[in-house]
Amino acid sequence: MNNPQTEFDSPWKEILENYFEEFIRFFLPVAHPEIDWDRPPEFLDKELQQVVRDAELGRRMADKLVKVWCKNGTEIWVLIHVEVQSQDEADFAERMFVYHYRIFDKYRCPVVSLAVLGDERRNWKPKQFSYQLWETSINFNFKVVKLLDYGDRWAELETSSNPFAIVVVAHLKAQETRSDRLERKRWKLALVRQLYEQNYSRTEVINLFHFIDWVMSLPEELEQEFWQSVQELEEDRSMPYITSVQRIGRQEGRQEGRQEGRQEGRQDGLLKGIELGLRLKFRAEGLAVLPEVAEIKDVDLLETILAGLETANTLEEWRKLYQARLE
């Protein structure tokens, strides 16, 4: 069984990086008009890792530290914390406080803290850390978004053009259908249909599908039925965005190899295409075998491996393409 943390962290991290402005508009609308979006946000992963390491509070994969600029020129650091664990965390608010003051202390920049709680405990909403002793007191408040609260706002989610409306629905329905995969398949297909009905661009469809596909995993038989339905949907609309992703990854891998003009570049490009195909077709289970593929230096074999992602029905069937040649 997948750990809920690992099930959701990676897609949240990716979607935050792809749509940070939309994230702020959706979850922190008061800040959006004050930020100068003509200056691209900077993701400060190394800086956050240093703070987390120093604080000895453990690494949270979905945490993001982002530098933005206000329209008046002020530099602001935004700390985004996505919490999807299902167990209680009595020290969560304290951890938010420690992250906040350590970032400020180390870099001397204003820090805005926002926690997105994707857990299934409706009454768990830590948003304050405080203590007082004699004439000294600390009162730290931070913005909290509880995804479960959107369960009463379906009309708003269904009509919103913000991609995070799709993200929230996918996240909630992934949790709700954990024990009913037939219902999950129905919702997964409904969300894919919505991507086309709302006229998202090809890139947006692919990016959002990455999130939907990762969090709403299906058993193999239902997965095959789902892909058949997606293919029919795309044929009806003459928009083969999703079903062609693996071929896109293959083409991009070859293109990168040509641009690099050397064996190593071609190999790196093919590996990127394989990684994309594994993530889409086999999700976390597929990505788990990526390290063994990365050891392969034969670019012709890598071409075969990448092409096999389009036809293999199971991960084991796909692995047979190269295991025999490695023995």
Q: What is the pLDDT of residue 4?
A: 44
Point out the least confidently predicted range of 68-77, 167-176, 279-288. 279-288
Model pLDDT for residues 8-37, shown as the tens digit of each residue: 456 777 788 888 899 999 999 998 998 999
HEC letters along the chain: CCCHHHHHHHHHHHHHHHCHHHHHHHHCCCCHHHECCCCCCEECHHHHHHHHHHHCCCCCCCCEEEEEEECCCCEEEEEEEEECCCCCCCCHHHHHHHHHHHHHHHHCCCEEEEEEECCCCCCCCCCEEEEEECCEEEEEECEEEEHHHHHHCHHHHHHCCCHHHHHHHHHHHHHHCCCCHHHHHHHHHHHHHHHHHCCCCHHHHHHHHHHHHHHCCCCHHHHHHHHHHHHHHHHHHCCCCCCCHHHHHHHHHHHHHHHHCCHHHHHHHHHHHHHHHHHHHHHHHHHCCHHHHHCCCCHHHHHHHHHHCCCCCCHHHHHHHHHHHHC
295 vs 265: which has the higher pLDDT: 295
pLDDT classification of 134: cutoffs 50, 70, 90: very high
Computed over every residue of the chain, the mean pLDDT equals 78
Entry pTM: 0.69
pLDDT classification of 56: cutoffs 50, 70, 90: low
Residue 1 has pLDDT above 80, yes or no: no
Residue 70 has pLDDT above 50, yes or no: yes
Mean pLDDT across the stretch 293-315?
A: 77
Q: What is the pLDDT of residue 3?
A: 45
Model pLDDT for residues 228-286, shown as the tens digit of each residue: 888 787 777 666 556 555 444 445 544 554 454 445 556 766 777 787 777 766 766 77
